[in-house]
Structure 1
Amino acid sequence: MAYSLTSNNKKEIEKELLPLIRVYKDGSVERLIESPIVPPSLQDPQTNVSSKDIIISNNNPSLSARIFLPYSHKHNNKKLPIFLYFHGGAFCVESAFSSLYHNYLNILVSESNIIAVSVDYRLLPHHPLPAAYEDGWISLQWLASHTSNEINNNNKEQWLLDYGDFNKVYIGGDTNGANLAHNIAMRAGTETLPNNLKIFGVLLCSPFFWGSKSIGLEALEDNERHGLAIKVWNFVYPNAKGGIDNHMVNPCADDAPNLATLGCSKMLVTVTDKDEFRDRDLLYYDSVRKSGWQGQLELFEAGDEEHGFQIFNHQTHTAKNFIKRLASFLV
């Protein structure tokens, strides 16, 4: 992973969000933490998972994705669950094509026996929120379009048509990708998707939620992490009504939409002990549980681990068990 905080002294900085991104007044951008882009593979040597890059939308906006297909499709006549995935990176770094998420999804797809579509949604600074939320909804609409009998739609993906089970569509992600998935699920609870597609499950790994009032261990800290979370939100969505208490980042705010309207049948929320979002995510889980939502709600506590550990170091025993738990949900 690339990691550099050295600025170019010849350029004048307009704004920055350390240690993630720096924007210069000449319009150039440095993404300071980002793994390299890697190509797809017709058969990954470690997992036998095949992948290819696809187009979701050609314009307004232009959206692409990487789709992953497990080796099991060759000897299994049963249709496979579909997982629409949104990567992490604070809405401003990483991509669906980066080595970090390519490798992670190869492992998850192999373990889960699912088809995954990793969306390359638009990033900051050129595309502040709500661009990524719009991209997520467009991606879900595109997925739903595959259930139509129209034969003239050239934008359909053959792997989904041949092997996908559209009765088992999942959405999810990690950190801000999980935040994105939550907001899409809320929208799906009030808006109808093409051909009345339903989201079967939502997987939220350490979702990025926050608020203006400290809760739990936040109140015992020096507010450095609390301040960083607010800086991230203000950077990625500077015009959000209500700031850090906007319901997109604080779904437990007093004026947030009722969580009982979540548009899915089941949900898994995961937390780790060393994650700064832990208390927020537990509050979210408890709020969904008390909301009157009629779905199946699950919580998985991964123990004494850092934020995103299963992505950064997926070969450890704990990470392997974590991924197995995710796989048991994606069925």
Structure 2
Amino acid sequence: MASSSTKEIEKELLPLIRVYKDGTFERLVGSPIVPPSLLHPLTNVSSKDILISNNPSLSARIYLPKLHQNQKVPILVYFHGGAFCVESAFSFFYHRYLNILASQSNVIVVSVDYRLLPLNPLPAAYEDGWTTLQWIASHTTDSPSNTEPWLIEHADFDKLYVGGDTNGANLAHNITMRAGNEALPNNVKILGAMLCTPFFWGSKPIGNENVEEHEDSLAIKVWNFAYPDAVDGVDNPLVNPCAAGAPSLATLGCSKVLVTLTGKDEFRDRDILYYETLKKSGWKGELEELFDAADEPHAFQLFTPETDEAKAMIKRLASFLV
């Protein structure tokens, strides 16, 4: 068998993934897969892996904080980051982070292991997000197909949240837009969307984005790799919700939104534009004050959750999930 150093490369998205002409591929970054845990020693949160759908195959890791018998708590459907091609609901960074978030916010977290590139280009991940919401909403009725006891016994379906970081926050936004136009089973509604440094972009540079290097930016490369057939390319409303002709953000299907920023994130100006566009759109929900983590780098709360800055951010997220 040929080694990766001798195989012919078909395409690559550096520093993330490389695809070879024989159909194999290498994910070049990412944290290791770790098992779930019953009563995590640091947080008292229990987790397990669950199957949401057989066709397509779709799994998740669900987190349950330590609760009293029959206690009902909110649900957070969480989408991990990783440019649609790396990381996992089962990987170390997300397992550690969501244990902490579930504990501090006292919510059930369903971390979706949506389908990744290169085998599953977009819109597969968007469909997986919607399938997950439908599966959760179905648990509001008494049916033999509703098999997840943690949801049946402890979920408050009037407090359903979606959230994520970077491309996961992009997924959360777009699924919430879909919920504004398409009903979930049993008329379940999304209460809030928690968007941490969401991945938005566009063909024309704005703010402090580099004009000379804009067309060669990693963000454009990620989108073209993830969704090569997207109408209007990087101005497709899925990645540029502020593009001319994009559906109005007034149709966003939730009651409140929290957007977080960091000072060293390339999406910062896009996220501010999204926030201001939503504010002016006529949307009837509650837009919470931007949380700005100042000089922190991209996704710092995942990589260094023990720092004072990360603790402050996680505390703010927890206060939103009520």
TM-score range, shorter chain: over 0.9
CA contact (8 A) 1:218 1:226 kept: no
User: Residue 111 of structure 1 aligns to a residue in which SS?
Assistant: helix
CA contact (8 A) 2:31 2:93 kept: yes
The reply on whether 1:28 has 2:21 as its aligned counterpart is no
User: Residue 119 of structure 2 aligns to a residue in which SS?
Assistant: coil
Identity of aligned pairs, percent? 70
Superposition misfits of 4+ residues, deviation over 6 angstroms:
none
Report deviation, 1:78: 3.4
CA contact (8 A) 1:225 1:276 kept: no
Report deviation, 1:194: 0.4
What is aligned with 2:73?
80
Report deviation, 1:156: 2.6
How many residue pairs match? The answer is 319
User: Which amino acid in structure 1 is aligned with residue 148 of structure 2?
Assistant: E
Structure 2 counterparts to residues 218-229 of structure 1, below 5 A? 218-219=209-210, 222-223=212-213, 227-229=217-219
Normalising to structure 1: TM-score of the pair? 0.94
What is aligned with 1:191?
182
Residue of 149, 166, 181 corresponding to 1:175: 166
Residue of 284, 287, 307 corresponding to 1:316: 307
Residue of 115, 123, 141 corresponding to 1:122: 115
Structure 2 counterparts to residues 66-215 of structure 1, below 5 A? 66-71=61-66, 73=67, 75=68, 77-150=70-143, 152-153=144-145, 155-215=146-206
Whole-Å Cα distance in 2 between the matches of residues 242 and 190 of structure 1? 22
What is aligned with 1:3?
none
Alpha-carbon deviations, 1:152-186, whole Å to 9, x = none? 21x43100110110000000100000000000000
CA contact (8 A) 2:70 2:153 kept: no
Whole-Å Cα distance in 2 between the matches of residues 148 and 12 of structure 1? 52
Whole-Å Cα distance in 1 between the matches of residues 47 and 184 of structure 2? 26
Whole-Å Cα distance in 2 between the matches of residues 224 and 70 of structure 1? 44
What is aligned with 1:236?
226
Alpha-carbon deviations, 1:203-243, whole Å to 9, x = none? 00000000011100014x65269621111100000000000
Alpha-carbon deviations, 1:23-81, whole Å to 9, x = none? 1111111000011000000111111110000010112x11000000112x1x3653110
User: Which amino acid in structure 1 is aligned with residue 229 of structure 2?
Assistant: N
What is aligned with 1:4?
none
User: Which amino acid in structure 2 is aligned with residue 63 of structure 1?
Assistant: L
Whole-Å Cα distance in 2 between the matches of residues 77 and 134 of structure 1? 32
CA contact (8 A) 2:205 2:214 kept: no
Unaligned runs of 5+ in 2: none
User: Residue 217 of structure 1 aligns to a residue in which SS?
Assistant: coil
Residue of 237, 251, 255 corresponding to 2:241: 251
User: Which amino acid in structure 1 is aligned with residue 28 of structure 2?
Assistant: L
The reply on whether 1:47 has 2:5 as its aligned counterpart is no
